[in-house]
Amino acid sequence: MEKRVPQILIIYTGGTIGMVKDYETNALKPFDFENLKTKIPELNLLECSLKTTAFEQPIDSSDMSPDHWINIAEIIESNHDQTDGFVVLTGTDTMSYTASAMSFILENLSKPVIFTGSQLPIGDLRTDAKENLITAIQVASAFENGEAVVQEVALYFEYKLYRANRTTKVSAEQFEAFQSPNYPNLGESGVHLIFNRQFLKRTKKDLPLKVQKNLDANVVILKLFPGIQRSMVEYILNYPDLHGVILETYGAGNAPTDSWFFEILIKTIQRGIPIVNVSQCISGGVLMGLYETSTKMKSIGVINGKNITTESAVAKLKLMLGLKIPYNEFKEKFETEIRGEMS
């Protein structure tokens, strides 16, 4: 029997990976993804069929928005049935936000959606773009017994494969720009491409892909810091169109003990606005009830974000608010893992 060749679609949204240097002017210009194999002949050695598509106007990662997330999801949706895997190229600065969002938007996903990018442009002499792109394609085209090895949204960068909604960008300087502090790597690229299969998420067969496109934009991140003023907190939490809050607390979920702080939180919750407690620490997470302040937050109905990343919490909150989940069910549902985003 002839071996089936996986069909892989590369989606370019913008970012450093899609730029090349014009050595006459030293200016960066967009890479020609239509002639990808001509520019990177190593791709001809891959055992897959490649197609490419790009945003009509590629965007910088700083301009990434929920509308762009939906654009990416719709490209995946419209190509889903005839495509075996997807590689999404975005800017690194907001990649964890975008990749996390995609994990929530794409429900019942049973095909690989692999995000990658680079710290240096693809045309740079020392670029990390080629290795990241080639291996991301290899990951997306890895199949065994007719099934994709990876059946979730993942992020590949500098020899490591991560669950997308567990990642955070930790360096603007090093090639190893991302980490997954609270979940093991899904795989690693060395002499061989090795998957840590016990950590991979599996999807029930024959469930149709659902694309959740209703995202609520009215979410804010409130990061605590020593000396934060009552007027500041009131100003942010009294925003008229506010629908959800990510509260970045200290350590294991702790906050100031000032009575005014809890009064504001209580008034916010009484308005039907969910507040999610996430830790400012890169590693570890919230343990509601471990200390007095977090015990008090637990008692007033603040949601336990456990060890979710801020990026993933933003995406999950936008999704759940968009689904119009009743407020009396919201806390329990948010604290329940749905895409492997917390433990």
Report the chain's terminal Cα–Cα distance, integer Å.
Answer: 43
Exactly one of 16, 98, 249, 309 is catalytic; name it.
16
**AA letter at 290:** L
Known catalytic membership, residue 203: no
Nearest CA-CA partner of 268 in 294, 243, 289, 232: 243
Buried b / exposed e along 303-338 (16+ C-beta atoms within 10 A): bbbbbbbbbbbbbbbbbbbbeebeeeebbeebeeee
For the chain, give percent helix, strand, coil, nearest 5.
30, 20, 45
Residues in contact with 44: Cβ distance below 8 Å, sequence separation at least 6, in sequence order: 37
- For 71, counting Cβ atoms within 10 Å of its Cβ (0-12 exposed, 13-18 middle, 19+ buried), the class is middle
Q: Are residues 75 and 53 in contact, defined by beta-carbon separation less than 8 angstroms? A: yes
- What does the chain come to in residues? 343
Q: Are 287 and 261 in contact (CB under 8 A)?
A: no
Q: Which two tokens stand for residue 69?
A: 């997330």
Torsion on CA atoms 294, 297, 303, 307, rounded to nearest 10: -10
Residues labelled as active-site residues = 16
